[in-house]
Amino acid sequence: MILPNDSPLNIALIFDQEVESGGGFQQGLNAALLASKIDKKLAYLSIFHTKKKIKNNLKENGIDSQLINLSLIEKIYLYIKTTEKFRILYKIIRIIYDFNFFEDFLLKKR
């Protein structure tokens, strides 16, 4: 139930996985298609992707998306951050430089 003074919730979906066997992309695609049916009075949906190849797959399924264009340094940082074998290195880097590229990007898109 929405009250007259309530504003819609902002929802951002980020596709970072290419189409491969295993179903990860399909699961995200199903979530995006389901989320796109949410009443605009309840939520505003933004869909982003991190790889240029993903845009065509999303477009073929009727989903419009925007590219989050990461620099090489940002990609390396995110790889270190999300790869288990580099966890200790990431903990050291985080002491000096802790930054969330996706959060920064989404705040700028606001």
Mean pLDDT (whole number) for 78-93? 88
**C-beta of residue 9 within 8 angstroms of C-beta of residue 42:** yes
d(CA 91, CA 17): 24
Amino acid at 86: F
pLDDT at 85 over 90: yes
Domain boundaries, the chain: 1-69, 70-110
Quick one: average pLDDT of 89-102?
82
3-57 confidence digits (pLDDT tens): 556 788 888 888 887 777 567 788 888 999 999 999 988 998 999 998 888 888 8
Predicted pLDDT of residue 110: 64
45 conformational bin, left if phi > 0, alpha if psi -120 to 50, beta if neither: beta
Whether the model clears a pTM of 0.85, i.e. scores above it, the answer is no
